[in-house]
Amino acid sequence: MTGNLVLRSISVVRQAHSPREQKPPGPPWLHPKGVPDMRLGRSARAAIIGFALTLGVAACSSAGTTTAAPPSAAAAGGLEKTQIKVATLPAIDSAALYVAIDQGLFEKEGLEVTPQVVQAAPEAIPMLVKGEIDAMFGNYVSMFAAHDKQALKLRILAEGSRAAPDSLSIMALPDSPIRTPKDLEGKTINVNVLRNFQELALAQVLKANNVDPASIKYVQVTFQNIMPSWKGGQIDAAYLGEPQVTAAISTMGARKILDPASGPAAEFPISGYVSTQEWYDENPKVAAAFQRAIHNAAKLMENNREVVAKVLPNFTQIDAATAATVTFPYFSSSDNPVRLQRVADWMLEAKWLSKAIDVKSLMSPTTSG
């Protein structure tokens, strides 16, 4: 299958430093139980790396306004090009792209998609602007910030992932005086990148729990240093994701204090597939075909955990055993401007944007297929 050949030829860019949509609580496969005790062996380390890369980016409701568009590229007269490069991250959130390759969904649309792996979304933005890639997968906070600074004129091709319940957690060590969300006031918490989606979502959840977000001190900690910093007292509470949450509970007796993807931040949109407006104007049929394949991959992933677990070892350092147990994010099989507007509005509220962004105006028409 062409898709499989493309998948095996993934190119990696290195830096010198450094299912149909579901709504919570969702089907059981989104929240698997019986995660094995992880002593930070190879499987746990691999999955932890996968979570870290997800943060460097750093399934769903079908409600929302959509715009009619041609049902297929063939009916609309053929694609402007048949080969495209998409910058992506070796993270679970980008699984729909790899499922679409593995299952021949891009091939069905007449597309050959080559993933070009980067380690963080900001790394791919200059590549996109220079035309070295056709599209990229990244977190919305970085994308909206770049659009606001006029680094690029953004076009959202398809939604990607949203945070699932218990996929993230603010945790305290067993002997910590932190017992409730209110106890987090004045405390130091790690984030992978300052002023990104971790901070943005948690601020809303803190407010909902009568905690002043301004009282929290965020420090940027490289992922491999979170545990040493936590044990050494450099951070008071740890911002973790699965499977590290389970590992921290089983090996350290850590306690969950707050779910950053709860309350006002439930199903918080994390990442999606984007390009520039210029590229979209030149390749509208390619954009529609790409979107259909991504949406169809998400539909295929619904209630079919094995489809996702199968591809994870191909593009992440998450091995098959760990892939079978981790909590997945929600994957979007349709696009909804209302839920994405929440991200832009919160960024404006936090003064991370110079002006309001009308997210709907940046979104591609939804196609059927």
Q: CA 84, CA 86: separation in Å to the nearest integer? A: 7
Nearest to 60 by CA among 295, 240, 288, 289: 295
Closest CA to 89 of 63, 52, 112, 117: 117
| pLDDT value of residue 55 | 52
Q: Which domains does the chain have, with CATH numbers?
A: 2-161+268-337 (3.40.190.10), 168-265 (3.40.190.10)
Question: How do strand 217-220 and strand 83-88 relate by DSSP bridges?
Answer: unpaired
Query: For position 323, what pLDDT does the model report?
Result: 82
pTM of the model: 0.77
Predicted confidence at residue 297, as pLDDT, reads 97
Low-confidence ranges of the chain (pLDDT < 50): 1-50, 52-54, 56-76
Query: 179: which residues sit within 8 A by CB, 6+ positions away?
Result: 172, 255, 257
- Residue 113: strand pairing partners: 84
Alpha carbon distance 290, 69 (integer Å): 13
Chain segment 307-317, per-residue pLDDT in tens: 999 999 888 87
Q: Is 355 left (phi over 0), alpha (psi -120 to 50) or beta?
A: beta
Three-state DSSP class for residue 111: coil
pLDDT digits (tens, 9 = 90+) for 41-56: 444 444 444 454 445 4
